[in-house]
A and B are shown apart, each in its own frame.
Chain A
Amino acid sequence: MTSTPTPVRKRSALTKGQLPKYAPYVVLGVALVLGAAILALIGFNAFGWGVVSAILFAAGLVGWSAAVEGSRKAKDKLATCLVVGAFLVALLPLISVIWTVMVNGIPGLLNPGFLGTSMNGVTGVFDNRAAEGTGPVVGGIYHALIGTLQITLLATVISVPVGLLTAIYLVEYGNDRPLARAITFFVDVMTGIPSIVAGLFAAAFFFAVVGPGTKTGAVAAVALSVLMIPVVVRSSEEMLKIVPNELREAAYALGVRKWRTILKVVIPTAISGIASGVTLAIARVIGETAPILVTAGFATSINNNVFGGWMASLPTFIYTQILNPTSPSNPDPSSQRAWGAALVLIILVMLLNLGARLIARVFAPKAGR
């Protein structure tokens, strides 16, 4: 530590007026004990213990620092405590949500037939029996899974070509023209469209063009595309921008036409980033509830035709099972199904997020950048 070879550690003038290194640990220990004591007086619970101890820790450390180190250092300690506290506060809901979904969702997910059956013919009678313990919880999410996958797939099929071509226009052809700047601006604006407004737009569009009350999976896919296109444009644009210009110039120098340069040189170089951006965009829209709610209606049976008839999806399934349980007098089987579906949905989204990271890492160009 110190350069002086003396075995006796004397506090030098430089480190005078500082808290010893072990100070936070001492304060933490005292705060935990005091917090437990206080909580024991008013009824113990882990959450309250954490909160009280954290407040005691911050107060103790700042107070000690103010006494020894002066007000400037004390303010610094206070800011550090607040910032770390903010981070811990932000973690609480994440842990709580994941824990709640796991605890409530696993029984539903492990229920036999949950992934393989639909809600067709499942009425309140079955749920009442299940709640009384005289029958199993029947019904599952097969129809919703089919709906979610089809709607999301169709939305991807619409969004990726439009989004990618727009990004190509902005990067390769735009040259900062007024049109390119307008597109960039409105893509930013589109990012902020509330999801329910996107749903209303798709509904209003199909009501006006096809006929009032048109609700199919395809309408939902259009609504999701409105949400997905700006995400695809932004991420692809970023990726195309970082393709080195030398690659393009080398291709032009060999006499390759611009469109072949883009298709054979630029896009293959950026493909890992584009693919991971698209995957993240899918992860974003697969959990959207509101646009599907107003465009695809609710279905309890399997509908394999995305262009006709109402269609279920995982998010709307969760929503309806919670808000309108199949058996209003016994909502427990419905909420078990809803949490099971929520767990499946979270797993899907997490897999997509993980997939995006893997794609970005595995298919990244070996050299360049």
Chain B
Amino acid sequence: MTTTSLTSSRGAGRAGDKVFSGAALAAGCLILAVLFGVALFLVIQAIPAFTAPAADIQGGEGFFAYIWPIVIGTLIAAIIALAIATPVSIGVALFISHFAPRGLASGLGYVIDLLAAIPSVVYGAWGAAFLAPQISPAYGWLAANMGWLPIFQGPASATGKTILTAGIVLSVMVIPIITSLSREIFLQTPKLHEEAALALGATRWEMIKMSVLPFARPGIISAVMLGLGRALGETMAVALVLSSGALTASLIQSGNQTIAAEIALNFPEASGLKVSTLIAAGLVLFVITLAVNMIARWIISRHKEFSGAN
């Protein structure tokens, strides 16, 4: 660095550069530190739950016996949510990208985004106060007519506050996520592929099946994975809607519980070892969602180079 009269400036300028780039770097590192801290502090606070004698943990049979039913419950709720949300979201995304009139498309996209703007606690309140009573007759019908299936085994809950209702509310919250990601990818389909298909005489559906869906498949998979991450960690919809209980196979009885709802319902009054147990449960949830999200990001990045879908 030779200091000539042209490049020399007051010290403030150069110091400003150093301070500014340092601050930007520090902010970036802070984010890494926070994520590391999330894992670290959860582990530190959770250790007592892993080392405590089995009899002291809630349920009296150790941490593993406590956590696995609610892990299964979390997965059941998330699977119900995805089973409903995936086809609906893909349909909505296709509608906005390929079926709706051009002028309407962005407005319709905004309407779907409104779904994402409504706070989760409002969805929970809606599910508990409106959806559950409305849907419970359907559960009665399912129990009477399809009760031979283990998942519809009666007697159906009279209040409708079941894991299936919670899953439906979760699906509503997941739909805008999967929709907006899939829509982006559908819009990136090469126009030439679509036009080639149409020129060969394909109907609109055949064009979508031949050119849009194959192109968008990795994107759809990762969108669904991100939706899964959201469904696994969503708290309020389940805490308010589900009347929780022991793990049961039937989706239309009260019972089952998810990790997030278990924490929300018990943490405010918890103390001592119970706090550690709940934080350990949170750690399990963190690890599960982290794995799901990383797989989703990995799928996206693997296809980024040649599809442009990210």
Task: State the A residues within 8 Å of B (CB).
Answer: 72-73, 75-76, 78-80, 82-87, 89-91, 93-94, 96-98, 100-101, 104, 161-166, 168-170, 172-174, 179-180, 182-183, 185-198, 200-201, 203-205, 207-208, 212-213, 226, 229-230, 233, 257-260, 262-263, 283, 286-290, 293-294, 297-298, 315, 318-319, 322-323, 335, 338-339, 342, 345-346, 349-350, 353
Contacts and interface: CB of A to CB of B under 8 A. Distances in A.
B286 A170 contact: no
Nearest to B13: A257
Interface of B: 9, 13-14, 16-17, 19-21, 23-32, 34-35, 37-38, 41-42, 44-45, 87-92, 94-96, 99-100, 108, 111-112, 114-115, 117-126, 128-131, 172, 175, 179, 203-206, 208, 226, 229-230, 232-236, 239-240, 260, 263-264, 267-268, 271, 275, 278-279, 282, 285-286, 289-290, 292-294, 296-297
Given A166-B24, A168-B24, A290-B239, 20 more contacts: A87-B92, A96-B126, A101-B122, A173-B25, A185-B297, A186-B35, A189-B294, A194-B233, A196-B263, A197-B286, A200-B42, A204-B45, A207-B275, A212-B275, A257-B9, A287-B119, A298-B268, A323-B239, A342-B119, A346-B119
Nearest to A187: B31
Contacts of A286: 119
Name, among A161, A169, A298, A353, the residue most crowded by chain B CB atoms within 10 Å (CB to CB). Answer: A169
A208 B260 contact: no
Given A90-B112, A97-B122, A169-B24, A226 B38 contact: yes
A353 B117 contact: yes
A262 B271 CA distance: 49
A287 B122 contact: yes
A161 B27 contact: yes
A87 B108 contact: yes
Interface SS majority for chain B: helix
A216 B108 CA distance: 41
Given A183-B31, A189-B294, A287-B121, A257 B17 contact: yes
B164 to A, nearest CB: 15
Given A75-B203, A87-B95, A345-B119, A169 B28 contact: yes
A189 B290 contact: yes
B234 A194 contact: yes
A353 B119 CA distance: 12
A169 B115 CA distance: 33
A346 B118 contact: yes
6 contacts: A91-B111, A179-B28, A192-B230, A195-B120, A196-B285, A259-B20
Given A186-B35, A201-B38, A339-B125, A194 B232 contact: yes
A315 B121 contact: yes
B66 to A, nearest CB: 16
B282 A196 contact: yes
Nearest to A215: B268
A94 B115 contact: yes
Contacts of B128: 322
